C-alpha cells in the first residue's frame, strides 16, 4: 500500500522506533570546559541515509520544555548520522559556562533515550606561585581563581609530574581559593600542582600542572661544642718537713 509522503523508511517497516537509543557522549555526570561538545550515540540498524531520522534535544531544564528561557534546542539528523557538534557561527556562541545541561535523542516519533546530564565548567587559573618559580618559603601558599558555577575544588601536589605517586590530595567542600601546607615541604625540590573545579555531583577538567622549586632547607644543623682542653695540675714536690740537712 502507498504511504503518504513517499516510500516508507525501514524504520517504519521494522518498528525501529520502539528501540531506545543509547547515548555515548557527553556521558551522564560528565563535566568539561568545552562549549561546543560532541553529542554522539549508538546508531540503530535499518535507517534511511537521506531521511531525517534522528531527533536530538538539549536544554538546561531536565524536563526539555518547548518554551521559556530554557526552551529545548532541537536538531534533526539523517539516518546515517550518529553524532552532532554545535557549530561555530556568528549567531551561536556555544553553551553557557557554569551551567548543567541535559540531552536526549530518539528515532523520529520513537522512544526517547535516557536524559544525560553534563556540566560546562571552566578550569581554574593557577595564580600563585608562577609556573617554574623558585619560592622563598618552605611552606608556600598555592592559589587559584574562582570558577563560575563551581562550589568545590580539588588540589593535588606531587613531585611526580604524572601525579601517580607521592601525591598530596586535598578537596575543599567550600569554594576555597588557596592552600597552605601543614608541614614543611622538602627543600631544594621540584614540585608540581594542579586544581580542578566541581559541582555537587561532578568534576571538571584538571588544569595543566604548574611547577615550583622549594628553597634549600632552612634547618640549621646542630653544632657540637668545641672541646675545652683539660689542664692536669703537676704533682707537688715531696715535703722535707722543714728539717735542715745535717
pLDDT digits (tens, 9 = 90+) for 106-150: 998 889 999 999 999 999 999 999 999 999 999 999 999 999 889
Q: What is the pLDDT at residue 44? A: 83
Q: What is the pLDDT at residue 89? A: 79
> Which of 82, 87, 39 is CA-nearest to residue 59?
39
Q: What is the pLDDT at residue 226? A: 55
Q: List, in sequence order, every residue forming a beta bridge with 23; answer none if it has no partner.
A: 41
Q: What is the pLDDT at residue 8? A: 36
Q: What is the pLDDT at residue 154? A: 96
| Sign of the four-CA dihedral 159, 164, 168, 171 | positive
Local structure of 14: helix, strand or coil: helix
| Sign of the four-CA dihedral 217, 219, 220, 222 | negative
Q: How many CB atoms lie within 10 A of CB 39?
A: 23
Q: What is the pLDDT at residue 13? A: 39
Low-confidence ranges of the chain (pLDDT < 50): 1-14, 222, 246
Q: What is the pLDDT at residue 225? A: 56
pTM > 0.85: no
Amino acid at each position: 500500500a502507498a504511504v503518504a509522503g513517499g516510500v516508507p523508511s525501514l524504520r517504519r517497516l521494522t518498528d525501529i522506533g520502539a528501540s531506545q537509543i543509547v547515548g555515548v557522549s557527553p556521558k551522564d555526570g560528565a563535566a568539561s570546559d568545552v562549549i561546543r561538545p560532541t553529542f554522539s550515540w549508538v546508531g540503530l540498524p535499518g535507517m534511511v541515509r537521506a531521511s531525517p531520522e534522528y531527533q536530538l534535544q538539549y536544554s538546561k531544564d531536565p524536563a526539555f520544555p518547548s518554551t521559556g528561557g530554557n526552551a529545548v534546542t532541537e536538531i534533526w539528523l539523517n539516518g546515517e548520522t550518529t553524532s552532532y557538534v554545535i557549530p561555530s557561527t556568528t549567531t551561536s556562541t556555544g553553551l553557557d559556562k557554569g551551567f548543567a545541561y541535559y540531552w536526549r535523542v530518539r528515532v523520529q516519533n520513537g522512544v526517547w533515550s535516557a536524559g544525560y546530564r553534563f556540566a560546562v565548567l571552566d578550569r581554574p587559573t593557577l595564580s600563585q606561585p608562577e609556573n617554574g618559580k623558585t619560592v622563598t618559603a618552605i611552606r608556600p601558599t598555592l592559589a587559584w581563581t574562582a570558577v563560575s558555577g563551581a562550589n568545590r575544588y580539588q588540589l593535588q601536589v606531587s613531585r611526580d609530574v604524572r601525579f601517580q605517586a607521592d601525591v598530596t590530595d586535598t578537596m575543599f567542600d567550600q569554594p576555597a581559593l588557596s592552600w597552605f601546607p601543614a608541614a614543611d615541604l622538602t627543600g631544594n625540590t621540584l614540585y608540581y600542582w594542579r586544581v580542578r573545579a566541581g559541582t555537587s555531583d561532578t568534576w571538571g577538567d584538571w588544569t595543566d600542572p604548574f611547577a615550583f622549586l622549594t628553597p634549600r632547607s632552612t634547618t640549621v644543623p646542630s653544632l657540637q661544642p668545641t672541646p675545652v682542653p683539660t689542664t692536669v695540675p703537676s704533682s707537688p714536690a715531696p715535703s722535707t718537713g722543714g728539717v735542715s740537712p745535717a
